[in-house]
Amino acid sequence: MPRGASERGISVGIHDLEVATSHFVVSLSELAEHNGTDPAKYLIGLGQREMSFPAPDEDAVTIGAEAAAELLARTGVEGITTLLFATESGIDQSKAAGLWVHRLLGLPASMRVAEVKQACYGGTAALQAAAGMVARAPQERVLVIASDVARYALDSPGEPTQGAGAVAMLVSAAPALVELDPVSGRFTAEVDDFWRPNGMLEALVDGELSVAAYLDGVESSWLDLAARGGPSVERLAAILFHQPFGKMAQKGLRRLSSVVGRDLDGAGNTAGEAINSRMGNSYAASVYAALAGLLEYGLGEEPLSTGDRIGWFSYGSGSVSEFLTGTVGPAATTRSGSGGIAAKLDARAALGVPEYRALHTARGETPEVTDRLLPRTTRGRFRLAEVRGGARRYEGV
Protein backbone atom coordinates (compact mmCIF):
# COMPACT_ATOMS: atom_id res chain seq x y z
CA MET A 1 0.00 0.00 0.00
CA PRO A 2 1.42 3.44 -0.85
CA ARG A 3 2.79 5.39 2.06
CA GLY A 4 0.17 7.56 3.67
CA ALA A 5 -2.82 5.56 2.41
CA SER A 6 -3.85 4.47 5.91
CA GLU A 7 -3.50 8.03 7.19
CA ARG A 8 -5.98 9.13 4.49
CA GLY A 9 -8.46 6.65 5.91
CA ILE A 10 -8.36 4.28 2.93
CA SER A 11 -8.79 0.70 4.07
CA VAL A 12 -7.83 -1.84 1.41
CA GLY A 13 -7.98 -5.61 1.38
CA ILE A 14 -9.81 -8.76 0.34
CA HIS A 15 -13.51 -8.11 -0.15
CA ASP A 16 -14.33 -11.70 -1.09
CA LEU A 17 -12.52 -14.89 -2.10
CA GLU A 18 -13.32 -18.30 -3.56
CA VAL A 19 -11.55 -21.65 -3.94
CA ALA A 20 -11.65 -24.18 -6.79
CA THR A 21 -9.85 -27.43 -7.48
CA SER A 22 -9.58 -30.11 -10.13
CA HIS A 23 -11.87 -32.89 -11.35
CA PHE A 24 -9.82 -35.83 -10.05
CA VAL A 25 -8.40 -36.83 -6.67
CA VAL A 26 -5.76 -39.46 -5.88
CA SER A 27 -5.61 -41.17 -2.49
CA LEU A 28 -2.12 -41.08 -1.01
CA SER A 29 -2.84 -44.27 0.93
CA GLU A 30 -3.42 -46.00 -2.41
CA LEU A 31 -0.34 -44.36 -3.91
CA ALA A 32 1.75 -45.57 -0.96
CA GLU A 33 0.43 -49.11 -1.36
CA HIS A 34 1.28 -49.04 -5.06
CA ASN A 35 4.78 -47.71 -4.36
CA GLY A 36 5.45 -50.12 -1.52
CA THR A 37 5.77 -47.17 0.85
CA ASP A 38 4.60 -47.07 4.45
CA PRO A 39 1.43 -44.89 4.26
CA ALA A 40 2.53 -43.11 7.45
CA LYS A 41 5.34 -41.51 5.44
CA TYR A 42 2.73 -39.56 3.47
CA LEU A 43 -0.11 -39.26 5.98
CA ILE A 44 2.00 -38.39 9.03
CA GLY A 45 5.48 -37.56 7.73
CA LEU A 46 4.19 -35.11 5.11
CA GLY A 47 0.78 -34.45 6.64
CA GLN A 48 -0.95 -35.21 3.33
CA ARG A 49 -3.98 -37.46 2.66
CA GLU A 50 -4.97 -36.76 -0.94
CA MET A 51 -3.90 -34.78 -3.96
CA SER A 52 -6.05 -33.09 -6.57
CA PHE A 53 -5.13 -34.03 -10.13
CA PRO A 54 -6.36 -32.29 -13.31
CA ALA A 55 -8.41 -33.97 -16.01
CA PRO A 56 -6.89 -33.85 -19.52
CA ASP A 57 -9.10 -30.85 -20.35
CA GLU A 58 -8.16 -28.91 -17.19
CA ASP A 59 -5.24 -26.63 -16.38
CA ALA A 60 -4.45 -23.51 -14.36
CA VAL A 61 -6.67 -21.43 -16.66
CA THR A 62 -9.81 -23.54 -16.24
CA ILE A 63 -9.40 -23.98 -12.49
CA GLY A 64 -8.70 -20.27 -12.00
CA ALA A 65 -11.70 -19.31 -14.14
CA GLU A 66 -13.88 -21.64 -12.07
CA ALA A 67 -12.90 -19.91 -8.83
CA ALA A 68 -13.38 -16.45 -10.35
CA ALA A 69 -16.80 -17.25 -11.86
CA GLU A 70 -18.16 -18.34 -8.50
CA LEU A 71 -16.75 -15.24 -6.85
CA LEU A 72 -18.13 -12.83 -9.45
CA ALA A 73 -21.56 -14.44 -9.26
CA ARG A 74 -21.72 -12.91 -5.77
CA THR A 75 -19.88 -9.65 -6.27
CA GLY A 76 -20.59 -8.66 -9.87
CA VAL A 77 -18.00 -7.08 -12.17
CA GLU A 78 -18.77 -3.41 -11.65
CA GLY A 79 -15.65 -1.36 -10.98
CA ILE A 80 -13.17 -4.14 -11.82
CA THR A 81 -10.38 -2.51 -13.80
CA THR A 82 -7.62 -5.12 -13.57
CA LEU A 83 -7.18 -8.89 -13.60
CA LEU A 84 -3.89 -10.19 -12.21
CA PHE A 85 -3.27 -13.91 -12.77
CA ALA A 86 -0.58 -15.39 -10.50
CA THR A 87 0.85 -18.76 -11.48
CA GLU A 88 3.99 -20.81 -11.87
CA SER A 89 2.09 -23.21 -14.14
CA GLY A 90 2.19 -20.77 -17.02
CA ILE A 91 1.28 -22.21 -20.43
CA ASP A 92 2.61 -19.46 -22.70
CA GLN A 93 5.80 -17.44 -22.55
CA SER A 94 4.08 -14.31 -23.91
CA LYS A 95 0.32 -14.43 -23.43
CA ALA A 96 -1.01 -14.02 -19.91
CA ALA A 97 -3.22 -16.87 -18.72
CA GLY A 98 -5.63 -14.22 -17.48
CA LEU A 99 -6.51 -13.26 -21.06
CA TRP A 100 -8.29 -16.57 -21.59
CA VAL A 101 -10.04 -16.09 -18.24
CA HIS A 102 -11.05 -12.57 -19.27
CA ARG A 103 -12.86 -13.95 -22.32
CA LEU A 104 -14.37 -16.96 -20.54
CA LEU A 105 -15.85 -14.71 -17.86
CA GLY A 106 -17.08 -12.07 -20.30
CA LEU A 107 -15.25 -9.30 -18.47
CA PRO A 108 -15.27 -5.69 -19.76
CA ALA A 109 -12.82 -4.72 -22.48
CA SER A 110 -11.78 -1.60 -20.56
CA MET A 111 -9.43 -3.55 -18.27
CA ARG A 112 -5.77 -4.36 -17.90
CA VAL A 113 -4.70 -8.02 -17.63
CA ALA A 114 -1.28 -9.34 -16.68
CA GLU A 115 0.42 -12.46 -15.34
CA VAL A 116 2.56 -12.48 -12.18
CA LYS A 117 5.29 -15.04 -11.53
CA GLN A 118 7.58 -15.71 -8.60
CA ALA A 119 7.10 -19.33 -7.65
CA CYS A 120 4.55 -19.79 -4.85
CA TYR A 121 4.89 -16.14 -3.80
CA GLY A 122 3.11 -14.96 -6.96
CA GLY A 123 -0.33 -14.77 -5.32
CA THR A 124 0.97 -12.38 -2.67
CA ALA A 125 2.84 -10.29 -5.25
CA ALA A 126 -0.43 -9.91 -7.17
CA LEU A 127 -2.36 -9.11 -3.99
CA GLN A 128 0.08 -6.37 -3.01
CA ALA A 129 0.04 -4.90 -6.52
CA ALA A 130 -3.75 -4.92 -6.43
CA ALA A 131 -3.78 -3.21 -3.03
CA GLY A 132 -1.56 -0.45 -4.40
CA MET A 133 -3.86 0.10 -7.37
CA VAL A 134 -6.93 0.36 -5.15
CA ALA A 135 -5.20 2.68 -2.68
CA ARG A 136 -4.47 5.02 -5.60
CA ALA A 137 -8.00 4.79 -7.01
CA PRO A 138 -10.39 3.59 -4.26
CA GLN A 139 -13.37 3.46 -6.63
CA GLU A 140 -11.67 0.65 -8.57
CA ARG A 141 -11.57 -3.05 -7.78
CA VAL A 142 -8.99 -5.65 -8.82
CA LEU A 143 -9.56 -9.36 -9.47
CA VAL A 144 -6.61 -11.51 -8.37
CA ILE A 145 -6.48 -15.17 -9.39
CA ALA A 146 -3.80 -17.49 -8.00
CA SER A 147 -3.97 -20.83 -9.80
CA ASP A 148 -1.52 -23.69 -10.17
CA VAL A 149 -1.05 -27.35 -10.95
CA ALA A 150 1.86 -28.76 -8.94
CA ARG A 151 3.54 -31.51 -10.92
CA TYR A 152 6.53 -33.72 -10.10
CA ALA A 153 8.01 -36.80 -11.74
CA LEU A 154 6.47 -40.19 -11.05
CA ASP A 155 8.23 -42.06 -8.22
CA SER A 156 10.09 -38.92 -7.17
CA PRO A 157 10.18 -37.59 -3.58
CA GLY A 158 7.92 -34.71 -4.63
CA GLU A 159 5.22 -36.93 -6.19
CA PRO A 160 3.00 -37.16 -3.05
CA THR A 161 3.06 -33.36 -2.67
CA GLN A 162 1.42 -32.70 -6.04
CA GLY A 163 -1.90 -30.90 -6.17
CA ALA A 164 -4.08 -28.47 -8.08
CA GLY A 165 -6.13 -25.51 -6.94
CA ALA A 166 -7.01 -21.87 -7.36
CA VAL A 167 -8.12 -18.96 -5.24
CA ALA A 168 -9.84 -15.89 -6.68
CA MET A 169 -9.79 -12.70 -4.60
CA LEU A 170 -11.59 -9.42 -5.15
CA VAL A 171 -9.45 -6.59 -3.78
CA SER A 172 -11.24 -3.36 -2.93
CA ALA A 173 -11.48 -0.40 -0.61
CA ALA A 174 -13.55 -0.94 2.55
CA PRO A 175 -13.18 -4.72 2.23
CA ALA A 176 -15.76 -6.94 3.91
CA LEU A 177 -13.49 -9.95 4.50
CA VAL A 178 -9.91 -8.98 5.45
CA GLU A 179 -8.44 -5.48 5.70
CA LEU A 180 -4.70 -5.49 5.02
CA ASP A 181 -2.45 -3.80 7.53
CA PRO A 182 -0.33 -1.06 5.92
CA VAL A 183 3.03 -2.71 6.68
CA SER A 184 4.40 -6.17 6.02
CA GLY A 185 7.72 -7.93 6.51
CA ARG A 186 9.81 -8.86 3.47
CA PHE A 187 12.88 -10.98 2.77
CA THR A 188 14.60 -11.97 -0.48
CA ALA A 189 17.62 -14.23 -1.05
CA GLU A 190 18.62 -15.84 -4.34
CA VAL A 191 18.90 -19.60 -3.82
CA ASP A 192 18.54 -22.66 -6.07
CA ASP A 193 16.09 -24.56 -3.92
CA PHE A 194 13.38 -25.11 -6.57
CA TRP A 195 13.33 -24.15 -10.23
CA ARG A 196 11.77 -25.15 -13.57
CA PRO A 197 13.78 -24.16 -16.64
CA ASN A 198 12.09 -23.37 -19.95
CA GLY A 199 10.76 -26.47 -21.67
CA MET A 200 10.44 -28.54 -18.50
CA LEU A 201 7.05 -29.61 -17.14
CA GLU A 202 8.44 -30.78 -13.80
CA ALA A 203 10.39 -28.73 -11.30
CA LEU A 204 13.87 -29.49 -10.01
CA VAL A 205 14.13 -29.43 -6.23
CA ASP A 206 16.85 -29.40 -3.60
CA GLY A 207 14.62 -30.50 -0.74
CA GLU A 208 17.01 -29.85 2.13
CA LEU A 209 17.91 -26.39 0.86
CA SER A 210 14.24 -25.58 0.22
CA VAL A 211 13.28 -26.34 3.83
CA ALA A 212 16.17 -24.23 5.09
CA ALA A 213 15.33 -21.32 2.77
CA TYR A 214 11.66 -21.46 3.79
CA LEU A 215 12.52 -21.32 7.50
CA ASP A 216 15.03 -18.51 6.93
CA GLY A 217 12.20 -16.66 5.19
CA VAL A 218 9.87 -17.16 8.17
CA GLU A 219 12.40 -15.72 10.59
CA SER A 220 13.70 -12.88 8.43
CA SER A 221 10.34 -11.64 7.18
CA TRP A 222 8.93 -11.66 10.73
CA LEU A 223 11.91 -9.68 12.03
CA ASP A 224 11.45 -7.20 9.17
CA LEU A 225 7.75 -6.88 10.04
CA ALA A 226 8.64 -6.18 13.66
CA ALA A 227 11.24 -3.59 12.60
CA ARG A 228 8.59 -1.81 10.53
CA GLY A 229 6.23 -1.54 13.49
CA GLY A 230 3.96 -4.48 12.67
CA PRO A 231 1.70 -6.06 15.31
CA SER A 232 3.21 -8.26 17.98
CA VAL A 233 2.54 -11.98 17.83
CA GLU A 234 0.32 -11.67 20.90
CA ARG A 235 -2.14 -9.61 18.83
CA LEU A 236 -2.63 -12.33 16.20
CA ALA A 237 -5.59 -14.65 16.65
CA ALA A 238 -4.23 -17.05 14.02
CA ILE A 239 -1.11 -17.47 11.88
CA LEU A 240 -1.13 -19.18 8.47
CA PHE A 241 1.77 -20.50 6.42
CA HIS A 242 2.36 -21.40 2.81
CA GLN A 243 2.00 -25.16 2.69
CA PRO A 244 3.93 -27.17 0.11
CA PHE A 245 2.92 -29.98 2.46
CA GLY A 246 1.20 -29.89 5.84
CA LYS A 247 4.22 -30.56 8.01
CA MET A 248 6.04 -27.61 6.44
CA ALA A 249 3.51 -25.23 8.00
CA GLN A 250 4.16 -26.86 11.37
CA LYS A 251 7.90 -26.40 10.91
CA GLY A 252 7.26 -22.73 10.12
CA LEU A 253 5.21 -22.26 13.27
CA ARG A 254 7.95 -23.85 15.37
CA ARG A 255 10.59 -21.56 13.84
CA LEU A 256 8.45 -18.51 14.55
CA SER A 257 7.93 -19.75 18.11
CA SER A 258 11.70 -19.83 18.61
CA VAL A 259 12.09 -16.34 17.15
CA VAL A 260 9.48 -14.73 19.40
CA GLY A 261 10.33 -16.86 22.43
CA ARG A 262 6.80 -18.12 22.87
CA ASP A 263 4.98 -21.40 22.23
CA LEU A 264 2.59 -20.64 19.36
CA ASP A 265 1.04 -24.09 18.93
CA GLY A 266 -2.41 -22.70 19.66
CA ALA A 267 -2.02 -20.10 16.90
CA GLY A 268 -1.73 -22.64 14.09
CA ASN A 269 -4.68 -23.07 11.76
CA THR A 270 -5.60 -26.74 11.58
CA ALA A 271 -8.49 -26.02 9.20
CA GLY A 272 -6.08 -24.62 6.63
CA GLU A 273 -3.81 -27.63 7.03
CA ALA A 274 -6.80 -29.96 6.65
CA ILE A 275 -7.69 -28.37 3.30
CA ASN A 276 -4.12 -28.58 2.05
CA SER A 277 -3.85 -32.20 3.19
CA ARG A 278 -6.72 -33.05 0.83
CA MET A 279 -5.98 -30.70 -2.10
CA GLY A 280 -2.20 -30.96 -2.14
CA ASN A 281 0.16 -28.16 -3.02
CA SER A 282 -1.49 -25.40 -5.04
CA TYR A 283 1.65 -23.24 -5.22
CA ALA A 284 0.58 -19.58 -5.55
CA ALA A 285 -2.88 -20.36 -4.16
CA SER A 286 -1.71 -22.40 -1.17
CA VAL A 287 -1.65 -19.87 1.66
CA TYR A 288 -4.87 -18.24 0.41
CA ALA A 289 -6.63 -21.61 0.34
CA ALA A 290 -5.58 -21.87 3.99
CA LEU A 291 -7.02 -18.38 4.55
CA ALA A 292 -10.31 -19.52 3.02
CA GLY A 293 -10.28 -22.49 5.38
CA LEU A 294 -9.63 -20.28 8.39
CA LEU A 295 -12.50 -17.98 7.48
CA GLU A 296 -14.85 -20.91 6.91
CA TYR A 297 -13.88 -23.19 9.79
CA GLY A 298 -12.47 -20.76 12.34
CA LEU A 299 -10.12 -21.67 15.16
CA GLY A 300 -11.06 -25.12 16.36
CA GLU A 301 -14.60 -24.79 17.68
CA GLU A 302 -14.42 -20.99 17.79
CA PRO A 303 -15.33 -18.94 14.69
CA LEU A 304 -13.37 -15.82 13.89
CA SER A 305 -14.87 -12.56 15.07
CA THR A 306 -14.97 -9.18 13.37
CA GLY A 307 -11.88 -7.28 14.44
CA ASP A 308 -9.65 -10.34 14.96
CA ARG A 309 -6.18 -9.78 13.55
CA ILE A 310 -4.53 -12.62 11.65
CA GLY A 311 -1.13 -13.12 10.05
CA TRP A 312 0.09 -15.18 7.11
CA PHE A 313 3.48 -16.14 5.74
CA SER A 314 3.94 -16.33 1.98
CA TYR A 315 6.96 -18.02 0.44
CA GLY A 316 8.15 -18.52 -3.11
CA SER A 317 11.25 -20.55 -3.86
CA GLY A 318 14.20 -18.84 -5.35
CA SER A 319 13.40 -17.09 -2.91
CA VAL A 320 10.99 -14.33 -1.80
CA SER A 321 9.14 -14.25 1.53
CA GLU A 322 6.58 -11.91 3.03
CA PHE A 323 4.76 -11.83 6.35
CA LEU A 324 1.40 -10.03 6.13
CA THR A 325 -1.23 -9.19 8.71
CA GLY A 326 -4.80 -8.02 8.49
CA THR A 327 -8.06 -7.55 10.34
CA VAL A 328 -11.07 -9.79 9.84
CA GLY A 329 -14.17 -8.01 8.56
CA PRO A 330 -17.89 -8.64 9.11
CA ALA A 331 -18.31 -10.94 6.08
CA ALA A 332 -16.12 -13.58 7.70
CA THR A 333 -18.89 -14.48 10.13
CA THR A 334 -21.25 -15.36 7.26
CA ARG A 335 -18.72 -17.88 5.89
CA SER A 336 -18.28 -19.69 9.19
CA GLY A 337 -19.52 -23.26 9.11
CA SER A 338 -20.69 -23.13 5.49
CA GLY A 339 -18.80 -26.28 4.51
CA GLY A 340 -18.32 -25.07 0.94
CA ILE A 341 -14.68 -26.04 0.54
CA ALA A 342 -15.14 -29.54 1.96
CA ALA A 343 -18.10 -30.08 -0.38
CA LYS A 344 -15.91 -29.21 -3.38
CA LEU A 345 -13.23 -31.61 -2.23
CA ASP A 346 -15.81 -34.32 -1.64
CA ALA A 347 -17.16 -33.84 -5.18
CA ARG A 348 -13.92 -34.81 -6.93
CA ALA A 349 -13.86 -38.06 -8.88
CA ALA A 350 -11.58 -40.73 -7.43
CA LEU A 351 -8.74 -41.72 -9.75
CA GLY A 352 -7.06 -45.09 -9.29
CA VAL A 353 -3.28 -45.18 -9.21
CA PRO A 354 -2.83 -46.99 -12.57
CA GLU A 355 -5.15 -44.50 -14.27
CA TYR A 356 -3.42 -41.58 -12.57
CA ARG A 357 0.00 -42.78 -13.73
CA ALA A 358 -1.26 -43.20 -17.29
CA LEU A 359 -2.68 -39.65 -17.35
CA HIS A 360 0.48 -38.24 -15.75
CA THR A 361 2.67 -39.95 -18.36
CA ALA A 362 0.44 -38.92 -21.28
CA ARG A 363 0.48 -35.31 -20.17
CA GLY A 364 4.27 -35.33 -20.00
CA GLU A 365 4.67 -36.94 -23.42
CA THR A 366 2.39 -34.46 -25.23
CA PRO A 367 4.09 -31.14 -25.99
CA GLU A 368 1.92 -28.09 -25.32
CA VAL A 369 2.06 -27.19 -29.03
CA THR A 370 0.78 -30.57 -30.29
CA ASP A 371 -2.47 -30.23 -32.24
CA ARG A 372 -5.25 -32.15 -30.51
CA LEU A 373 -8.92 -32.23 -29.60
CA LEU A 374 -9.60 -33.01 -25.95
CA PRO A 375 -12.59 -35.11 -24.90
CA ARG A 376 -14.84 -33.66 -22.24
CA THR A 377 -13.88 -35.03 -18.82
CA THR A 378 -14.17 -32.24 -16.27
CA ARG A 379 -17.54 -31.44 -14.70
CA GLY A 380 -16.38 -27.84 -14.28
CA ARG A 381 -17.91 -25.00 -16.24
CA PHE A 382 -14.72 -24.33 -18.25
CA ARG A 383 -12.45 -26.65 -20.19
CA LEU A 384 -9.59 -26.75 -22.67
CA ALA A 385 -11.26 -27.97 -25.87
CA GLU A 386 -8.54 -27.84 -28.52
CA VAL A 387 -4.93 -26.99 -29.30
CA ARG A 388 -4.21 -26.00 -32.91
CA GLY A 389 -1.00 -24.47 -34.18
CA GLY A 390 0.06 -24.01 -30.57
CA ALA A 391 -2.98 -21.81 -29.87
CA ARG A 392 -5.32 -22.98 -27.12
CA ARG A 393 -9.10 -22.80 -27.35
CA TYR A 394 -11.11 -22.86 -24.15
CA GLU A 395 -14.86 -23.16 -23.86
CA GLY A 396 -17.52 -22.77 -21.21
CA VAL A 397 -20.27 -25.22 -20.41
345-364 pLDDT tens trace: 999 999 999 999 999 999 88
Catalytic residue among 50, 66, 115, 120: 120
Other Cβ atoms less than 10 A from the Cβ of 73: the count is: 9
Q: What is the pLDDT of residues 4-53, one digit of tens each?
A: 344 447 899 999 999 999 999 999 999 999 999 999 999 999 999 999 99
Residue span of the structural domain in which 72 resides: 12-177+340-396
Looking at the fold, whether 26 and 166 belong to one and the same domain comes out as yes
Instruction: Using the 3D structure, point to which of 308, 335, 362 is the last residue of a domain.
Output: 335
Looking at the fold, whether 202 and 326 belong to one and the same domain comes out as yes
Looking at the fold, whether 143 and 251 belong to one and the same domain comes out as no
Query: b or e along 99-127 (b: 16 or more beta carbons within 10 Å of the residue's beta carbon)?
Result: bbbbebbebeeeeebebbbbbbbbbbbbb
Mean pLDDT, the chain, as a whole number? 92
3-state secondary structure of 377: coil
pLDDT for position 2: 36
Looking at the fold, whether 243 and 330 belong to one and the same domain comes out as yes
Helix pair 207-227, 246-260: axis angle to 10 deg:
40
120 is annotated as an active-site residue:
yes
Contact (Cβ atoms closer than 8 angstroms) between residue 28 and residue 43: yes
**What CATH number did the domain enclosing 380 receive?**
3.40.47.10
pLDDT for position 146: 98
- Determine, yes or no, domain membership for 5: no
Looking at the fold, whether 35 and 170 belong to one and the same domain comes out as yes
Looking at the fold, whether 27 and 146 belong to one and the same domain comes out as yes
pTM for this one? 0.95
Say how many domains are in the chain.
Answer: 2
Catalytic residue among 18, 50, 88, 179: 88
pLDDT for position 4: 36
Q: Measured over all CA atoms, what is the biggest interatomic distance in the chain, rounded to whole angstroms?
A: 61
Catalytic residue among 15, 102, 242, 360: 242
Looking at the fold, whether 162 and 197 belong to one and the same domain comes out as no
- Determine, yes or no, domain membership for 3: no
pLDDT for position 301: 66
* 81-90, 154-163, 219-228, 265-274, range with the lowest pLDDT: 265-274
Contact (Cβ atoms closer than 8 angstroms) between residue 62 and residue 394: yes
Looking at the fold, whether 229 and 353 belong to one and the same domain comes out as no
pLDDT of 56 higher than 50: yes
Instruction: Using the 3D structure, point to which of 335, 355, 371 is the last residue of a domain.
Output: 335
Residue range 146-166: mean pLDDT, rounded: 96
Q: What is the pLDDT of residues 270-328, one digit of tens each?
A: 666 788 999 999 999 999 999 998 888 877 667 788 999 999 999 999 999 999 999 99
Query: b or e along 165-183 (b: 16 or more beta carbons within 10 Å of the residue's beta carbon)?
Result: bbbbbbbbbebbbbbbbbb
Looking at the fold, whether 284 and 392 belong to one and the same domain comes out as no
Q: How far is CA 371 from the centre of its chain?
A: 30
